[in-house]
Amino acid sequence: MNIASALTGGFAADINISQSTINLGNQLMFMGIVVFEIPCNMALQRIGPRTWISAQVFLFGLLATMQVSVRNRGSFLAIRLLLGFAEAGYIPGAVYTLSSWYTKRELAKRVAIFFLGMFGGNALSPILSSGILILDGRQGIRGWQWLFLIEGLFTIFVSFLLALFLPGSPHLTRPLLSPGLIKFSDSEKDILQKRLEIDNGEGTEGAYGVHIPLKVVFRTVACYRRWPHFVSTFVVFSTWSPLTTYTPSIIMSLGFDRTAANALAAVGASLSLGVVFFFAYMSDRTNQRGATVIAAQVCYLIVLIVTFKIQPHVGKWSRWGLWTAVNSLGVGYHPIHNFWVQLNCRDPRERSISIA
């Protein structure tokens, strides 16, 4: 989202790049994520989440901060690719880590709460950006540079919080750099492990120190029953992601000024929080995970079709309303979809790879 806001602050013009280059940079970032998603989850299970996730967030924050120094096309493309490498595996790794603590009945709500961070960040970022971009010219620094600097440093700060407070697994409950906020006795650790074993109907290896051989990766990817999960996610993100990148720019093109465009871009992302929790609630209430995912994706498809047909013929506020509806419904299916995939994987190694 900060690259979306930076585009409204003259970022592309300052480093002399075209919209095609912005698109290529985003493609390279997502390529890095796709290529390293599975290897990163394999590494997470070998090293453990408390070390891997903390280090990953620190590296991502460091690279995000380095965007302050982007000056031309080559440096922009390089940093976007590196950001993709750094981000790869974070979401599936975090979701899998949750699955090593909670039973299946408890997990859907926790996954939805986890995604509150992602979607809440999408909602908060444009609002922050509308204020940060006002710093344009202070200390000889452009507004978009302030944006990358402040949000990057905040991410680095969060990585230290993770190192201090994120426990490893029910088998290894102590965080990396401190005793932790909550201390578990040996009997409490046994209870945590046994309830998961009962829920899975077998022993569970948790999310720490597990080796995932290549044959398990191949067996997971080759399972044709999981391909509808993978393909539908690809199709939704292929539309939602680029629209998210250009939402503030699109709103500016309707006639709103920069500050208003960034603030208005936050509305759809804010509404998506309610959409996510609504579908999570329906999933838990009906226990129909697949039907809930399909319903959420159909709602998004309908809004896309309506927007495509109507937006050339209406005024700027109606257009903004259509874009807001697209952004609010684009990801309603995603947390439940993650959970649905996990429900259909008995082997924790296969679950890890499927999420990735």
Statement to judge: residues 223 and 283 lie in one domain: yes
- Name the pLDDT band for 134 (thresholds 50, 70, 90): confident
> Which residues, including other chains, have CB under 8 Å from residue 216's CB and lie 6 or more apart?
347, 349, 350, 353
Least Cα distance to 7 among 28, 29, 23, 30 occurs for 23
For position 117, what pLDDT does the model report? 81
Statement to judge: residues 13 and 154 lie in one domain: yes
Statement to judge: residues 143 and 284 lie in one domain: no
Residues forming beta bridges with residue 172, ordered by sequence position: 169
Statement to judge: residues 149 and 282 lie in one domain: no
C-alpha dihedral, 18 to 22 to 23 to 29, nearest 10°: 150
User: Helices marked H in the chain — which ranges?
Assistant: 2-8, 11-14, 19-47, 49-66, 73-87, 90-99, 104-132, 143-165, 186-200, 214-221, 227-253, 258-286, 289-310, 316-329, 334-343, 348-355
Find the domain containing 261 and state its range: 214-355
Q: Is the dihedral of CA 11, 327, 284, 339 positive or negative?
A: negative
Structure tokens at 92: 């599936």
In angstroms, the Cα distances linking 50 to 84, 222, 298 are 21, 30, 37
Q: Has residue 206 been placed in a domain?
A: no
Mean pLDDT of the residues in the chain: 85
Exposed, middle or buried, 16 (CB in 10 Å: 0-12/13-18/19+)? Answer: exposed
Mean pLDDT of 323-330: 88
Q: Which of 96-110, 163-177, 229-243, 300-314 has the highest mean pLDDT?
A: 300-314
- Name the pLDDT band for 183 (thresholds 50, 70, 90): confident
Q: Has residue 207 been placed in a domain?
A: no
- Tens of pLDDT, residue by residue over 255-278, are 888 788 888 888 888 888 889 888
Structural domain tally of the chain? 2
More confident residue, 319 or 172: 319
Q: Has residue 331 been placed in a domain?
A: yes
In angstroms, the Cα distances linking 11 to 107, 143, 149, 155, 239 are 41, 9, 14, 21, 23
Structure tokens at 142: 């452009």
Q: How much is the pTM?
A: 0.78
- Tens of pLDDT, residue by residue over 63-74, are 999 999 999 999
Q: Is the dihedral of CA 292, 297, 303, 306 positive or negative?
A: negative
Statement to judge: residues 143 and 275 lie in one domain: no
In the block, which residue shows the tokens 């999310």?
Answer: 207
Statement to judge: residues 59 and 157 lie in one domain: yes
- Name the pLDDT band for 57 (thresholds 50, 70, 90): very high
For position 168, what pLDDT does the model report? 80
Statement to judge: residues 77 and 176 lie in one domain: yes
In angstroms, the Cα distances linking 14 to 83, 135, 225, 246 are 21, 16, 48, 18
Q: Has residue 350 been placed in a domain?
A: yes
Statement to judge: residues 253 and 172 lie in one domain: no
Structure tokens at 21: 């280059």
- Name the pLDDT band for 352 (thresholds 50, 70, 90): confident
For residue 13, the tally of other CB atoms under 10 A from its CB is: 9
Statement to judge: residues 311 and 178 lie in one domain: no
Using the 3D structure, point to which of 139, 169, 200 is the last residue of a domain: 200
Residues forming beta bridges with residue 169, ordered by sequence position: 172
pLDDT above 70 covers a percentage of the chain that reads 97
Q: Has residue 171 been placed in a domain?
A: yes
In angstroms, the Cα distances linking 52 to 64, 108, 169, 176, 192 are 18, 24, 13, 10, 22
For position 208, what pLDDT does the model report? 52
Using the 3D structure, point to which of 178, 200, 222 is the last residue of a domain: 200
